[in-house]
Amino acid sequence: MKKALLTVLFFVPLFIFSNCGRDDLPVIKEKPIEELSPGSVTKTNPMKLYVHYMPWFETKVTNNGTWGQHWTMANKNPDNVDTNGKREIASHYYPLIGPYASGDENVIEYHLLLMKYSGVDGILIDWNGTRNLWDYPSIKNNTEAIVKILDKVGLSFAIVYEDQSLREGLQDAEKITQAKADMKYLESTFFSKDNYIKINNKPLLMVFGPQEIKKPADWSSIFSGLKTKPTFLTLYAHSAGTTNEGDIKNAEGEYIWVDATPMETKYTGKEILMGGAYPGFNDFYKEGGWGESVLADINHESGATFKNLLKMAQDKKVDYLQLITWNDFGEGTMIEPTQEFKYNYLTELQNFAGVSYNVSVLENIYSLHSLKETYKNDAQKLKSLNQAFYYLVSLQNDKAKALIDEVGSIK
């Protein structure tokens, strides 16, 4: 018998035919998404570029019906929407995709793809440990969600430990015990991963301070239970609290951060020094009811501040550079695309890193995110868009754009 002809109209060839016992009817068999391995972006600048990342944002969907404090501070309500569709958030700047949840898979993919095509090698995740206090559990969970996708995209990561999370409700001995537990968690969960950042063949661990643990013997005790002592970097000018000259040495170097002193003075002869570049500083703490501003404003100067600090790091010939930050909207140091700055910081970074990409691929990644939000309940369209994600991961940009454009053209 002659087989019946069946035409399947679909925007990406995700179906194939097979015969299953009948000669007259074809059977539609779904083709799975091709999960492609990440490609390595070619850079002409060998400097390792790591971006400081805040995993602390929550929406009503992810936070038991209330917006997270980093969108609200003490007095802002993102449920208030202006005539332009902007929600009221605790920031002078507005993310291009609007306020989001850090654990949202679509958001994570959007962020990491933007980084990849901007020449970023990895992220430095701001982390508050394993205590069941404040929003620390959600930060821990969001970090784990981010790490799962980092490997898919082909980026590395390390942890920046907030030892100030030990401050509330703990006696001195309890702080050490909690810090030991946090280190054991990091070792068992992250340090052995292939994409965890290593310096001198040891896992990199940074601390934002230290602010609470300031005795060298205490840090020695904290690290004593680990199989491999990490390459430990403190905040600029804070390593003395971890090291006694001659006998106890915990910190092997420092990293630069934003403060009131000139950036040039920070590039000193540490054994390991991670440079820093930021776009500006303009916090929202006073307006948001969180107290006085922590630092005088540093003008963004339409991108010139960031460009000049990148050049300074290049002139100083550092091996590692921290981009400060990806998304600290509360302090106005974000290089994530915003309504105010668009993709300007990322295109500047593309030039600095020496990648072959430009703003067009960043815009394509934004389109992918937007379409995944629009069609989040449409399984067929999402399948095509997820395939486009893997095309972007594997640097097959033309294929990704064709799929994204095709889904976007369907009404």
Q: What is the mean pLDDT of residues 241-268?
A: 89
> Given a cut of 90, is residue 241 above it in pLDDT?
no
> What is the per-residue pLDDT across 287-322, written as a single tens digit (0 to 9) for each?
999 999 999 999 999 999 999 999 999 999 999 999
- CA–CA distances in Å: residue 108 to residues 69, 100, 142, 161: 19, 10, 10, 21
What phi, psi does 116 have (nearest 5°)? -55, -45
Closest by Cα among 195, 157, 154 to 393: 154
Read off the pLDDT band of 382 (50, 70, 90).
very high
Query: Is residue 253 over pLDDT 50?
Result: yes
Asked whether the predicted pLDDT for residue 197 surpasses 70, the reply is yes
pLDDT attached to residue 31: 80
Helices 379-393 and 397-409, axial angle in degrees (round to 10)? 160
Nearest to 56 by CA among 157, 8, 125, 132: 125
Q: Per CATH, is 48-369 categorized as 3.10.20.310?
A: no
pLDDT of the residue at 196: 98
126 vs 243, which has greater pLDDT? 126
Query: What local confidence, expressed as pLDDT, does residue 13 receive?
Result: 45
pLDDT of residue 247: 72
Q: How far is CA 328 from the centre of its chain?
A: 11
Is pLDDT at 195 greater than 70 in this prediction?
yes
pLDDT on residue 387: 98
pLDDT of residue 24: 57
Supply the pLDDT for residue 20.
Answer: 52
pLDDT of res. 411: 72
Q: What are 202's strand-pairing partners? A: 199
Over residues 273-292, the mean pLDDT reads 98
For the record, the structure tokens of 344 come out as 């300007």
| Side-chain-facing half-sphere of 166: CA atoms under 13 Å | 25
What is the average pLDDT score of the chain?
Answer: 93
Residue 14 scores a pLDDT above 70: no
Domain residue ranges in the chain: 48-369
Residue 17 has pLDDT above 50, yes or no: no
- 3 versus 192: the higher-pLDDT residue is 192
Say whether pLDDT at 215 is over 70: yes
pLDDT for residue 22 = 52
The pLDDT assigned to 28 comes to 45
